[in-house]
Amino acid sequence: QKEVEQDPGPLSVPEGAIVSLNCTYSNSAFQYFMWYRQYSRKGPELLMYTYSSGNKEDGRFTAQVDKSSKYISLFIRDSQPSDSATYLCAMGNTGGFKTIFGAGTRLFVKA
């Protein structure tokens, strides 16, 4: 079993739709949860960073962490064509240097 599972997609939605991206994980020691956005042929950039369970909102983006279910989500409201990218979930724990990445979900937002 992989430590992190993420559906690779692709996911295609119309402009303005609400997008839901998800990851599940198996290691209960993870405490830090991140979402990265990667445009084609570029390095991933940090989009959202959360610690432990709960929600975090930043503009059109909301990250949710449910540690009891080992499940994290990223919601994108009012999606735009510029949101078309690959979204990778990532997680790590205190004192550890190793961050584990999901496979990434390719998102296409159609104008």
List residues near another protein by CB under 8 A: 6, 8, 31-32, 34, 36, 41-46, 49, 51, 88, 90-94, 96-99, 101-104, 106
- Helix or strand or coil: residue 83? helix
**Nearest distance, CB of residue 101 and another protein, angstroms:** 5
The angle formed by the CA atoms of residues 41, 47 and 51, to the nearest 5 degrees, is 135
Q: Which is nearer to another protein, 76 or 87 (CB)?
A: 87
Q: Which residues of 83-93 are buried (b: 16+ CB within 10 A; e: fewer)?
A: bbbbbbbbbbe
Q: Which is nearer to another protein, 75 or 101 (CB)?
A: 101
Q: Which is nearer to another protein, 67 or 78 (CB)?
A: 67
